[in-house]
Structure 1
């Protein structure tokens, strides 16, 4: 396992930055170890919902976890608003960094992650292969 740290800047799209870092480094399998920082916009899809909810304001990233593959990331995040209310769900595009985001990523050189259609769920799910 190899680790790397990313620091995102104001205005960066969290999900797009993670996907870009994965591709730019030529990785085959990776996951998020830790993510903290702040957002001005969080777009989270709650369990069982088709559309993402959009939260705006001063938001703190409390947790960020997920896997990264060539076909895209699968990320879950919890954020709190200025009153301490916590929201969590599946990260979609459009989560915009407010001041900073500090992310620690681990790559797994002996594995390759892909996302392939799973007939049982109807979704593109993680497939793990040895390299």
Structure 2
């Protein structure tokens, strides 16, 4: 395992930047170990919901974790608002960095991640193969 740290800038889309970093570094399997920073917009899909909720304002990233594959990231995040209320869920496109986001990513060179339809869940789920 090799870890690298990414720093995202104001205006970056969190998911898109992580997807771009995966491709730029030629990775086929990586894991977001942790992320902190701030967002001006968070788009989170809550458990059992089909659509993402959009939160706007000064938001702090408390936790960020998930897998990165060639089919795209699968990320979960918790954020707090200016009043300290905490929200969490599946990270959807459109999470916009406010000041910075510092993210530690682990490259797993011996593995290759793909997402394939799983008949049991009905969703595209993680499949792990040797690289």
TM (norm. structure 2) is 0.99
The number of equivalent residue pairs is 131
After TM superposition, list the pairs within 5 Å mapping 1:1-131 onto structure 2. Answer: 1-131=1-131
Q: CA shift at 1:82, angstroms? A: 0.2
Hey, what's the Cα distance between the residues in 2 that align with 1:96 and 1:28? Answer: 25
Hey, what's the Cα distance between the residues in 2 that align with 1:36 and 1:126? Answer: 24
Q: CA shift at 1:118, angstroms? A: 0.5
Q: Deviations over 1:52-97 (max 9, x none)?
A: 0000000000000000000011000000000000000000000000
Structure 2: state its 5+ residue gaps.
Answer: none
Structure 1: state its 5+ residue gaps.
Answer: none
TM (norm. structure 1) is 0.99
Q: CA shift at 1:4, angstroms? A: 0.7
Q: CA shift at 1:109, angstroms? A: 0.4
Hey, what's the Cα distance between the residues in 2 that align with 1:28 and 1:43? Answer: 26
2:19 is paired with a residue of what secondary structure?
helix
- Alignment root-mean-square deviation, CA: 0.4
Q: CA shift at 1:24, angstroms? A: 1.0
2:56 is paired with a residue of what secondary structure?
strand
Hey, what's the Cα distance between the residues in 1 that align with 2:107 and 2:28? Answer: 8
Hey, what's the Cα distance between the residues in 1 that align with 2:46 and 2:33? Answer: 22
